[in-house]
Homo-oligomer: A and B are copies of this chain.
Amino acid sequence: MGASKTAHFTQKQNEIAALMKALGHPARVAIIDYLLTVDTCICGDIVNELPLAQPTVSQHLKELKNAGLIKGSIEGNAICYCIDEETFSKFQNFLSEVFGKIKVQKNNCC
């Protein structure tokens, strides 16, 4: 098939999977990395930072934007991108839950 049966899972599971999927490509991890290192918004500089053609980078940026992980605002003929803290916060909350549960697990048999 190739299409995920999203309807059969909880909304939360689908949400988390979507966030994970958005970060499930090294180029998109690299974009986030870069946005973090520059420590501010970036207006038209991302393409030069990545070893990929401009349309490909644009596509990756679109996916990060769709996932809510970054925000973009038009600044003249360039576009400013930055991390969307709110979504990352949501992400972090989920992960805290998961890691919290892992720590409680004591009776491992594997």
Give the interface of A toward B (CB within 8 A). 4-6, 8-10, 13-14, 16-18, 20-30, 32-33, 36-37, 39-41, 51-52, 71-73, 80-83, 85, 88, 92, 95, 98-99, 101-102, 104-105, 107-110
Q: How many copies does the complex hold?
A: 2
Contact yes or no, A102 B85, CB < 8 A = yes
**Given A17-B23, A21-B21, A26-B14, is A39 in contact with B4 using a C-beta cutoff of 8 Å?**
no
**Given A17-B23, A21-B25, is A105 in contact with B9 using a C-beta cutoff of 8 Å?**
no
Bound-state CA distance A85–B104 (Å) is 11
- Closest residue of B by beta carbon distance from A103: B85
Contact yes or no, A26 B6, CB < 8 A = yes
Bound-state CA distance A76–B41 (Å) is 56
Across the interface, A110 reaches (CB within 8 A) one of B4, B26, B28, B81, namely B81
Bound-state CA distance A99–B89 (Å) is 8
Contact yes or no, A17 B8, CB < 8 A = no
Contact yes or no, B41 A109, CB < 8 A = yes
Across the interface, A105 reaches (CB within 8 A) one of B14, B36, B52, namely B36
